[in-house]
Amino acid sequence: MSALLGYGLCLGATLVVIAGDFVLKTAVDRGHALHSPAVFLGCALYAASAAGWFLALRHVSLAQTGVASALFTLMALVTMGVVLFGEKVAMREVLGIAMAVGSMLLMARVA
C-alpha cells in the first residue's frame, strides 16, 4: 500500500509540475514581470511539486520515482496532445507507451 501511495504522490507532483510549466510559459508569453501574480503562482506550483516529490520518495525509491515521473509525464503529454490538439497516436507510439509502462512494472517493488 505504501508503494501505491508513493506512486500516487509522484503522479500528483508530475501534474503539478506540468501545471507550473504551463503557468510560467503563459506568463512569459504575455510579458508578465518577474513579480507578477502569474509568475508567483508558477513558482508556488513548483514548490508544491517539490513537497510532493519529497513525500513520494518516502514511499518509493529514487529509481522508481524517476521511472514513474517519466511515465506519468509521457502519459500526461500524450493525453494533452490527443484531447487538446486532436493529435493521432500511431501504433509505433502506442508500442513506445507500452514499453514505458513495462519499464515501470519492472522497476516496481512488490513488498
In tens digits, what is the pLDDT along the chain, a chain of 111 residues? 788 899 899 999 999 999 999 999 999 999 999 899 999 999 999 999 999 999 999 998 888 888 888 889 989 989 988 998 899 999 999 999 999 888 888 877 654
Whether 32 and 38 have beta carbons less than 8 Å apart is answered as: yes
pLDDT score for 109: 63
Spatial separation of the C-alpha atoms in residues 107 and 88, rounded to whole Å:
29
Spatial separation of the C-alpha atoms in residues 14 and 99, rounded to whole Å:
20
pLDDT score for 68: 85
Residue with cell 501511495: 5
Closest to 75 measured CA to CA, from 18, 3, 21: 18
> Which residues, 6 or more positions from 98, have their beta carbon under 8 angstroms from its beta carbon?
none
Residue with cell 514499453: 99
Spatial separation of the C-alpha atoms in residues 46 and 40, rounded to whole Å:
10
**Residue ranges making up the domain that contains 75:** 2-107
Strand residue runs (E) in 1-111: none
**Counted domains in the chain:** 1
pLDDT score for 110: 55
